[in-house]
Amino acid sequence: MNKGRLHMKTLRTDVCIVGGGPAGMMMALLLAKQKVNVLVVERNMNFDREFRGEVLQPRFVQMLDQLNLRSYIESYPHLKLKHGAIMKDSAQIEEFNFTAIDSKFPYAMWMPQPILLQALYKKCQEYPSFSMLFHTKVQSLLKEREEIKGVITKNAQGENLEIQAKITIGADGRFSTIRQLGGFELEYDFYENDLIWFTIPHPKDMDNTLRFYMSKPIYLVLPKYPDLMQIGLAFPKETWKEIRGSGIEKFRGTLKDLNPLFHSFAEELQDFRAFTVLNSRVQYVKEWAKDGCLLIGDAAHCASPVGAMGVSLSVATAIVAADIVWIGLEKQDTTQEWLQQIQTIRSPEIRLFHRSQIRIEKLAIRHTPWLKAIGGTMIPLFIKTKLARAIQRRIFLMPKPLPIDDSFVFEN
């Protein structure tokens, strides 16, 4: 035994979840409901974070409805997004309506991630089997032979803690520490574009329609709770470095030419600190499980921002994982073979969306002039077809409920 561990404080739990994002907190809540002892380790000191998966598609609302959490989550501050528009320069060429896609789930939600996470955290605290450590980083994994048995962490005071767990869950995002320490291999890692985010005040005369602009660059305009607009500019990955090198004056002019909405924001710019860069990455881990360890969410299958699907896909995996992990603990089976069922269930949908995102990123962002030239004619015609409506339903809604035990459904 390592001599340093002799004087180290030790905690024992059934499940240690590393990462307190949407996937980690949802899985923790579901396991705590089943009276599983679950400990969440979060490296940040709170849930504050910006530009992180704030659009929750109708399929997310669908999942909440299946768990009977819809009313609870919607009791927290949010916006309902019911309409979307496709713009060519300043003119609207087509729109879509979530109500026309499905009357039971006729909207996407805009909910800042800190609010969503706080809501899940508060619900978790109703269960005595739940606990959470903030401002705590994983330093290493505990292993016996090839089986992962927990983690060693360090808190903000520099104190080490050994957490022994029957199952360790890596829910710590696209740069997952658990994935790295556990030796998990990526099957693919597609990264060709960046999304550059910034916010402006919400104009009083502008509604909450989600707008997609076919310009150069392509960009999104989204309402942001409570009174802002969030803008995302899409560039090939090497472009932002070049823009910064050319100076803020030149980019100020670019923004003014792009949209009158950006004029006041551009005028006040002194540097590039107002912008946040999100690597538009699509990643898939070859095998999500090892004996005693499982990756979920972005740690296992990171989606790009295309379609705002990341949180919905990650939380769906977390819900399925909670069911399999709960049964595995009952059977005392925490092997890779047992945990691999989660990937078997979730992989077909994940791969389908990843393939679509990669195609769109290659075509739309790298070939903007071509898209702009034909988009004004072809897109309106296509959106009116039955095929387009079927694709919209497939993107925005789950074809069937997630395969979980009815005991995961919350009481009113």
Q: What is the pTM of this model?
A: 0.91
Domain CATH number, residue 354: 3.50.50.60
Which pLDDT score is estimated for 50? 63
Would you state the pLDDT for residue 1? 44
Residue 234 pLDDT greater than 80, yes or no: yes
pLDDT band with cut points at 50, 70 and 90 for residue 290: very high
pLDDT tens, residue by residue, 14-61: 999 999 999 999 999 999 999 999 999 999 999 987 656 688 999 999
Residue 215 near residue 258, CB atoms below 8 Å: yes
In a domain, 230, yes or no: no
Residue 49 lies in a domain: yes
Residue 244 lies in a domain: no
pLDDT at 91: 77
At residue 350, φ and ψ (nearest 5 deg) are -60, -50
Q: Which pLDDT score is estimated for 287?
A: 98
pLDDT tens by residue, 54-63: 889 999 999 9
Q: How far apart are CA 83 and CA 88, in angstroms?
A: 17
Residue 313 located in a structural domain: yes
Condensed to tens digits (0 to 9), the pLDDT of residues 291-340 reads 999 999 999 999 988 778 899 999 999 999 999 999 999 999 999 999 99
Predicted local distance difference test score (pLDDT) of residue 215: 80
For 264-276, the pLDDT digits (tens) are 999 999 999 999 9
Residue-wise DSSP of 353-394: HHHHHHHHIIIIITTHHHHHHHHHHHHHHHHTSHHHHHHHHH
pLDDT at 102 over 80: yes
Reading the block at residue 315, the tokens are 């939380």
Residue 117 maps to a domain: yes
Q: 138 lies in a domain?
A: yes
pLDDT given for residue 324 in this prediction: 98
Of residues 207 and 331, more confidence is placed in 331
Strand order in the sheet with 79-81: 55-56, 108-110, 79-81
Query: Is 310 a member of any domain?
Result: yes
Percent of the chain with pLDDT over 70: 90
Domain count, the chain: 1
Q: Which residues constitute the domain of residue 324? A: 3-188+281-403
Neighbours of 262 (CB within 10 A): 22
Identify whether the C-beta of residue 2 lies closer than 8 Å to the C-beta of residue 141: no
Q: Which tens digit of pLDDT belongs to each residue from 142-200? A: 999 889 999 999 999 999 999 999 999 999 999 999 999 999 999 999 999 999 999 99
> Which amino acid is present at 157?
Q
**β-strands 79-81, 108-110: how paired?**
antiparallel
**Does residue 347 lie in a domain region?**
yes
